[in-house]
Amino acid sequence: MSNSESNKNIIEAALFASHDPLTLQDLANLFDDKKISKNKIREIIDELNKEYNNRAFEISLVASGYRIQIREGYDQWLSKLNNMPSNRYSKAFLETLVIIAYRQPVTRGDIESIRGVSVNPNIIRGLLEREWIKIVGHKETPGKPELLATTKKFLDYFNLKNLSDLPVIKDEESV
Amino acid sequence: MSNSESNKNIIEAALFASHDPLTLQDLANLFDDKKISKNKIREIIDELNKEYNNRAFEISLVASGYRIQIREGYDQWLSKLNNMPSNRYSKAFLETLVIIAYRQPVTRGDIESIRGVSVNPNIIRGLLEREWIKIVGHKETPGKPELLATTKKFLDYFNLKNLSDLPVIKDEESV
Amino acid sequence: MSIIEDNKFEASVKGTLITEIPEDLFIPPDALRIILEEFEGPLDLLLYLIKKQNIDIMDIPILPITEQYVEYIKMMESMKFELASDYLVMASTLAEIKSRMLIPHDDEDDEEEDPRASLVRRLLEYQKYKNLSTEIDTISRVDRDTFLASGIIIHFKKKDIEPTIEISQLEEIFKDVLKRADILASHEIHSEPLSVRERMSNILESLTNSEPISFIKFFDVTEGRMGVVVTFLAILELVKDNLVEILQNEPQSIIYLQLKQS
């Protein structure tokens, strides 16, 4: 396709479109043929952040990489939105959670094959945001999918001391 | 808190923070005390879109409202991100969806008689879970089968504003 | 029209005579399997057979098409496909049309419909949606052609995002009940693990022929935390299986369970 998209815009598109933070390596991988150095990418990110000076968002660096964040001060306004993320638990949300709890560590693919429908990325994101689940590693299969598991916060939420406090489910009737 | 955030930036923040498209009414509700008209909000959206001229994203209007999306043309780059949700659908899935979209409201029986095979319950479930379809009532025939119809979310997904934007049916077509 | 001679068939296709089963019936088993798996049902298979031979859909040579159709479903069976009964129903429909075609036809009797007419209508109808489904597959869509852009709000106060819709309250209640269960836990004698399935059956049983029952009534705090968790999972399972639905008239009001209305 066209090459009219600048490297800067490609990085911008990736950061805004990605559901998870992106590392410099993730961003460098977008340009496999062009070989752009991580330093160059860091420069581009700085440049973008300067351009976002008057915007309500910025690129920020967190533990797992770069992501787009709404600047401080807007939360008071946004709390009026009634469709803010995670203001309800759907059936799909609870089912996904239950599968992660019982089958951990699991990949998205595992969840898909148990539920028979593809996993909504917003659900995983919502669970991660709530810190009920975390990424505990990567499966050694093609694509190295992330392995998901529940957290202590999840147990706290349900007043459980440890996972074995969850009801025992026999294999034939597993979740 | 401070009032340093401009109306424009508040609208911008809301559009980027919301997981669902926002209507003019949703956006107007952010300013309940200030009373900003929908026309004014529409102007601000146009203004923002002008400022996004060199950006990889834009504000676009779909069936359920305004949302920010990455411009077309970045798919070749973004497909390299490994946390992108899968977006390939089986023939059965698409055929079922299309029949519901064009013949709504329909029952499972209607879909079966058009396709000549029984409906896979996972497909209906997947469509309901994605909220691309909903149950709009029950047919007054034995068994009172559910009547299915598409939702705004379905239109949003395909970047459509309303059902009439769907491709036109060509009635007489030879094999 | 077509006639059968020994085990071969002849079909006149727009003037061209075809006298043998096309070669592409004999393709490597693996490839064949993939082709067979691709069919969305008997109508799809028939459309494929018609298209493959460039036959006019308005004038289908029923005899050879029926034979090929039967050939294909035999292959599917031999490959241990779980053949949907729909395929067999179509086979008998074709056989019926075939026999009606063989009945001497009185040319002056215009009122009798071509035995193939109803099948042709179904094929055209199905084809219309099949075409639309490939067309809709090309429309610019989210996560393939365009992507949603978003930013994260991290300064959001916990209170503001506290869920307000029924399921969340359901969990609030769940927490509540767990706490009460904790208080009573000392009375609990260690019992065998309770079965979620068993609990599902019990809940279904009590909802059968009953008015909606308050959600909280299903929790017996004397069973301890384990019993409460089992009940909760059982309810989730029942909701997931579309057997039971959760009702609530307005936020904060009492939550009821009732059997899913079929």
Contact: C135, B167; criterion CB under 8 Å: yes
Pick from C206, A72, C107, C166: nearest CA to B13: A72
Q: How far, in Å, CA of B130 to CA of C139, rounded?
A: 18
Q: Tell me the chain B residues in contact with residue A9 when contact means C-beta distances shorter than 8 Å.
A: 54-56, 74
| Distances, alpha carbon C220 to alpha carbons A156, C214, C259, in Å | 22, 13, 20
Buried/exposed code over A29-53 (b: 16+ C-beta within 10 A; e: otherwise): ebbeeeebeeeebeebbeebeeebe
Nearest to B76 among A1, A57, A85 (CB): A1
Here the tokens at position B152 are 């705004």
Pick from B159, B143, B174: nearest CA to B21: B159
Pick from C155, C192, C169: nearest CA to C255: C169
Q: How far, in Å, CA of C1 to CA of C65, rounded?
A: 11
Find the residue in A nearest to C200 (Cα): A173
Interface confidence, given as ipTM, is 0.67
Q: How far, in Å, CA of A127 to CA of A140, rounded?
A: 23
Residue C3 β-bridge partners = C10
The pLDDT value recorded for residue C192 is 35
CB C94 within 8 A of CB C49: no
The residues, any chain, with a CB within 8 Å of residue A58's CB and separated by 6 or more, are A49, A52, A68, A69, A71
Contact: B1, A76; criterion CB under 8 Å: yes
Shortest Cα–Cα distance, C221 to chain B (Å): 33
Contact: A13, B129; criterion CB under 8 Å: no
- Name the phi and psi angles at B170, rounded to 5: -95, 115
Among C41-55, C60-74, C140-154, name the one with the lowest average pLDDT.
C140-154
Contact: B9, A78; criterion CB under 8 Å: no
**C168 pLDDT exceeds 70?**
no
The chains in contact with chain A, meaning 3 or more Cβ pairs closer than 8 Å, are B, C
| Distances, alpha carbon C51 to alpha carbons C47, C63, C93, C128, C195, in Å | 6, 16, 20, 14, 55
The pLDDT value recorded for residue C146 is 82
CB A20 within 8 A of CB A64: yes
Contacts 24+ apart (CB under 8 A), C207-211: C207/C244, C207/C257, C207/C258, C207/C259, C208/C259, C211/C258
- Three-state DSSP class for A70? strand
Nearest to B77 among A10, A122, A143 (CB): A10
Shortest Cα–Cα distance, A167 to chain C (Å): 6
For the four alpha carbons of B14, B16, B17 and B21, in that order, the dihedral sign comes to positive
Region for residue B102 given its phi and psi (left: phi exceeds 0; alpha: psi -120 to 50; beta: otherwise):
alpha
- Name the phi and psi angles at C146, rounded to 5: -140, 155
**B167 pLDDT exceeds 80?**
yes
Region for residue B143 given its phi and psi (left: phi exceeds 0; alpha: psi -120 to 50; beta: otherwise):
left
Among A21-25, C121-125, C130-134, C199-203, name the one with the lowest average pLDDT.
C199-203
Contact: B10, A56; criterion CB under 8 Å: yes
Contact: C86, B91; criterion CB under 8 Å: no
The residues, any chain, with a CB within 8 Å of residue C98's CB and separated by 6 or more, are C62, C63, C66
Contact: C129, B98; criterion CB under 8 Å: yes
Shortest Cα–Cα distance, B43 to chain C (Å): 21
Region for residue B116 given its phi and psi (left: phi exceeds 0; alpha: psi -120 to 50; beta: otherwise):
left
| Distances, alpha carbon C109 to alpha carbons C59, C105, C106, in Å | 19, 8, 5
**DSSP string for A123-153:** HHHHHHHTTSEEEEEE-SSTT-PEEEEE-HH
Tell me whether residue B145 is exposed, middle or buried, using C-beta atoms within 10 angstroms of its C-beta: 0 to 12, 13 to 18, 19 or more: middle
Q: Tell me the chain A residues in contact with residue B54 when contact means C-beta distances shorter than 8 Å.
A: 9
Amino acid sitting at position B139 = K
Residue A144 or B85, more confident: A144
Taking the Cβ of residue C142 and every Cβ of chain A, the question of whether any pair is shorter than 8 Å is answered with no
Nearest to B74 among A13, A32, A76 (CB): A13
Contact: C161, A170; criterion CB under 8 Å: no
The pLDDT value recorded for residue C26 is 59
Number of H helices and E strands in chain A, helices first, is 8, 4
Shortest Cα–Cα distance, B46 to chain C (Å): 18
- Name the phi and psi angles at A82, rounded to 5: -90, 0
Taking the Cβ of residue B162 and every Cβ of chain A, the question of whether any pair is shorter than 8 Å is answered with no
CB C63 within 8 A of CB C100: no
Contact: A158, C174; criterion CB under 8 Å: yes
Q: Tell me the chain B residues in contact with residue A14 when contact means C-beta distances shorter than 8 Å.
A: 77-78, 81
Per-residue model confidence as pLDDT tens digits over C16-27: 444 444 555 556
Residue C36 or A65, more confident: A65
Q: How far, in Å, CA of B72 to CA of C148, rounded?
A: 11
Find the residue in A nearest to C153 (Cα): A70
Selection from B21-25, C180-184, C197-201 with the highest mean pLDDT: B21-25
In which band, very low, low, confident or very high, does the pLDDT at B82 lie, cut at 50, 70 and 90?
low
Residue C24 or C96, more confident: C96
Give B 9-68 residues with CB within 8 A of chain C.
Answer: 13, 16-17, 19, 57, 67-68
Selection from A137-151, B62-76, C15-29, C65-79 with the highest mean pLDDT: B62-76
- Three-state DSSP class for A68? strand
For the four alpha carbons of A158, A163, A165 and A166, in that order, the dihedral sign comes to positive
**DSSP string for C185-238:** GGGPPP-PPPPHHHHHHHHHHHHTTS--EEGGGG--GGGHHHHHHHHHHHHHHH
The pLDDT value recorded for residue A130 is 80
The pLDDT value recorded for residue C259 is 79
Low-confidence ranges of chain A (pLDDT < 70): 1-5, 82-91, 116, 140, 157-162, 164-175
Give A 87-116 residues with CB within 8 A of chain B.
Answer: 90-92, 116
In which band, very low, low, confident or very high, does the pLDDT at C152 lie, cut at 50, 70 and 90?
confident
Task: Suggest the residue from C143, C161, C175 to mutate for an interface test with chain A (most A CBs closer than 10 A).
Answer: C161
Taking the Cβ of residue B123 and every Cβ of chain A, the question of whether any pair is shorter than 8 Å is answered with no
Alpha-carbon B95 to chain mean position: 18
CB A35 within 8 A of CB A21: no
The chains in contact with chain B, meaning 3 or more Cβ pairs closer than 8 Å, are A, C
The pLDDT value recorded for residue C108 is 57
The residues, any chain, with a CB within 8 Å of residue A164's CB and separated by 6 or more, are none
Here the tokens at position B87 are 């977006």
Give C 150-209 residues with CB within 8 A of chain A.
Answer: 150-157, 160-165, 167-168, 171, 174-175, 178-179, 182, 193-197
Region for residue B65 given its phi and psi (left: phi exceeds 0; alpha: psi -120 to 50; beta: otherwise):
left
**C254 pLDDT exceeds 70?**
yes
| Distances, alpha carbon C242 to alpha carbons A13, B24, C239, C245, C258, in Å | 40, 36, 5, 7, 11
